[in-house]
Structure 1
């Protein structure tokens, strides 16, 4: 029925990106935690064939088609094979490409989790097939019942029409031949026949001929639009896990960190970090949202550590400073903007503002909240009390995940449109930059310079205020995501969502050239 709501459009998104990008999509679509994200679990026992080199090559191609490996954008060639006295040995190619040769039947233990992603997708497809069969069965049963009732009605109508036509012919003949007695009798018979037919048609009207239009399951339909991950892969262990008590917030340190990077994973975290939002209260206080750990964290940039952590009951996406003691956080899965108060070593939940959509990016200017929505797609401007001042719904946006503002403009990044759109405060489009492939996090400097991350090109660009010109300030990154610029120190903070916990658990810091 409608191909089971078109086979879960979200899974179609996976196919659109292609098998060569499986790992990146797992993290972007699925919230893989070392999960999407759009984010191991036992062992794989694929048996190596014994039919010689040709059969081994066929088997390997089948294994590679099942799972494309561990790194995004990686294209495999042929398997790594080695002769021995006992025959051929097959090595795990993903690991071999990383310089770590491990013997394996199909894939080594380090790669087995990808097979489970495929199995999960297979289960979803099977369940959709079952639902489709059920829906089609009900439709066919209704269709058969309709045909049965229509046949009864058609037969009765045909018989009635035939009888009336015969009676009319007799009446006409008797009238022409002036056979008054026969004409009178036939008219009486016709009158009685019509009364009987009236009763027959009244009975036929009780037959319910049903007409249906397919209406998608609202729960599934809403899930396809609102959900941004397929499941989660729980991280079984981290070598860098902090040994401090759970009550103590302590960031773990990775060896060899450079440029003053800050580790933001704490002993309270159950998963690897996915930092989706950042805002600066002061050059020393950076507030971040950790989506996968459902937490808001206060980062002390001086000591390079997490000083405060507030656990939420749902995943936060973006955050903005409303005042120097108040923050606003978007909670897309609850369709709520959560206000927080901040003081020395304390974060507290305050009031909530209910909104009518999947709220994502948020920015505050002169006590006005500007919020982007992924579903329904729009940008709204609120007063702090929740009064909607304006709603922008047009073809400019398809998935506006991030937003930032200054006294002149509203900047919106949209990864599906591949644009950074500039609006004035009359909500008119001023400019539209289309040079990026995957714009995500966006931040402004005091002089109007724009910083935008691009997850496909793996760069961060610095643009002029009108987005007409730009240059790459960071390149060869691992899927950069949220960004935040400090004008006083000229430090650019950014997070990554690569699937490598050693990368995702730290905030990167880059000193942008220029005068302070």
Structure 2
């Protein structure tokens, strides 16, 4: 059609106010992140909170043959925690809001540590079988997935950015591997000196850049390592011994079980302070595992040869 594609000419006229604004030092505005999506750089100071032993949950199942030994726990979702019961060769899912064990699966060996993975999965170390057992947690029910063969003496396990971090006690070291079990790197020495005596548990922090925290049971210390296996700092307190489970509760804040001293302490990485927040007077006796739910401000503690999971809430 004639004239349909006829070119037209336009003239741009500058707006005086816009020209002035672009030439000034004033900002166009501010950008804030909605509260529900903001990741806080500072967790509440757990040391200043008063903790109440809300309930003791009996996690012994009718099929358990021995007293429970909860060597590890991990937060699955709000109010739901995975537990490894070493003495009864099982992993249990506990709802601390209903005070019940909602799922249990018996393993081919004694589990030591557990970590949560993406896509409704979890990973459990089985030291006596030299393997990592992957589990499905879909629908709040536990079921078997694949196995990963590893070296003997595996203990702690953590997950970060599609990598598994596994500690070993027979040849004290940490291995970094893919979810398929391919070993990427091994940390055993730093400048020719052994890094660890007995690395029992570990976690990878969410700091920038991320670092690894390892509880060295025999050295009575928590070690902070870079992701290439270099020691950044050692945390000790002459009043406590035998660190076990360790969990990050905020950027630069961690909870550490000290099994030999019957305490849970708050580690503040910035200043190196180790401060007791739960102890023997709160009913702790040889605590192995500790986990924290940031949504409900709940701490759960598992203990050596004890059927009770202790649940503490902030007052």
Which residue of the partner structure matches residue 251 of structure 2?
A: 447
Aligned mates of 2:212, 2:314 — CA distance in 1: 23
The partner residue of 1:385 within 159, 177, 180 is 180
Matches within 5 A, 1:137-156: none
Which of 89, 99, 108 is the equivalent residue of 1:294?
A: 89
What whole-Å deviation, never above 9, does each CA across 1:208-253 have from its counterpart, x for those lacking one? xxxxxxxxxxxxxxxxxxxxxxxxxxxxxxxxxxxxxxxxxxxxxx
SS at match of 1:456: helix
Contact kept, 8 Å, 2:205 with 2:251, in 1: the verdict is: no
1:299/1:305 contact within 8 Å kept:
yes
CA displacement at 1:385 relative to structure 2: 1.4
Secondary structure of the structure 2 residue equivalent to 1:279:
strand
Measure the CA separation in 2 of the matches of 1:431 and 1:336: 30
- Among residues 447, 450, 465, which one is paired with 2:269 in the alignment? 465
Cα distance in 2 for residues equivalent to 1:285 and 1:448: 24
User: Larger Rg: 1 or 2?
Assistant: 1
Q: Which of the residues 93, 97, 108 maps onto 1:313? A: 108
Q: Which residue of structure 1 aligns with residue 224 of structure 2?
A: 422
Checking the alignment, whether the CA contact within 8 Å between 2:260 and 2:286 is kept in structure 1 is: yes
Query: Which residue of the partner structure matches residue 241 of structure 2?
Result: 437
Q: Map 1:89-108; keep pairs closer than 5 Å.
A: none
Structure 1 467/263 Cα, relative in aligned 2: closer, same or farther at 3 Å? farther
Q: Secondary structure at the match of 1:445?
A: strand
Is residue 2:195 matched to residue 1:396? yes
Residue matched to 2:213: 411
Q: Displacement of 1:437 after TM fit?
A: 1.4
Unpaired runs of 5+ residues, structure 2, are 1-51
Q: Quote the Cα distance in structure 1 between the aligned partners of 2:272 and 2:212.
A: 15
CA distance in 2, matches of 1:346, 1:315: 20
Offset at residue 345 of structure 1 (A): 4.3
Cα deviation per residue 1:300-339 (whole Å; 9 max; x = unaligned)?
A: 1221110100011211110001114011000000100111
- Corresponding residue for 2:143? 348
- Indicate the SS of the match to 2:261: coil
The CA deviation at 1:511 is: 2.6
Contact 1:404–1:442 (CA under 8 A) maintained in structure 2: yes
Where do residues 152-163 of structure 1 align in structure 2 (5 Å cutoff)?
none
Task: Judge conservation of contact 2:163–2:177 (CA < 8 Å) in 1.
Answer: yes
CA separation in 1, counterparts of 2:167 and 2:158?
A: 9
Query: Distance in 2 between the 1:332 and 1:508 partners?
Result: 26
C-alpha displacement at 1:454, in angstroms? 1.1
Aligned counterpart, 2:294? 487
Conservation of the 8 A alpha-carbon contact between 2:154 and 2:166: yes
- The structure whose RCO (Cα within 8 Å, separation 6+) is larger is 2
Question: Aligned partners of 2:170, 2:218: CA distance in 1, in Å?
Answer: 13
Higher strand share: 2
User: Could you tell me whether the CA contact under 8 Å between 1:431 and 1:466 is conserved in 2?
Assistant: no
After superposition, the CA RMSD in angstroms is 1.7
Query: Please, which runs of 5 or more residues in structure 1 have no aligned partner?
Result: 1-256
* Structure 1 CA distance for aligned equivalents of residues 303 and 293 of structure 2: 18
In 2, the alpha carbon distance for the partners of 1:300 and 1:438 equals 29
Cα separation, 2, equivalents of 1:448 and 1:384: 27
Aligned length, in residue pairs: 252
Shift in alpha-carbon separation, 1:268–1:419, aligned structure 2, 3 A: same
In the aligned structure 1, how far is the partner of 2:268 from the partner of 2:142?
35
> Conserved in 1, the CA contact under 8 Å of 2:173 and 2:195?
no
Cα distance in 2 for residues equivalent to 1:391 and 1:345? 34
- Alignment partner, residue 96 of structure 1: none
Q: CA deviation at 1:466?
A: 4.4
Partner of 1:511: 313
The answer (yes or no) to whether the contact 1:450–1:467 under 8 Å persists in 2 is: no
Aligned mates of 2:294, 2:218 — CA distance in 1: 29
- Contact 2:79/2:293 (8 A) holds in 1: no
* Greater fraction of residues in helix: 1
1:228-267 → structure 2 map (5 Å cutoff)? 259-267=54-62
8 Å contact from structure 1 (residues 335, 356) kept in 2: yes
CA contact (8 A) 2:53 2:313 kept: no
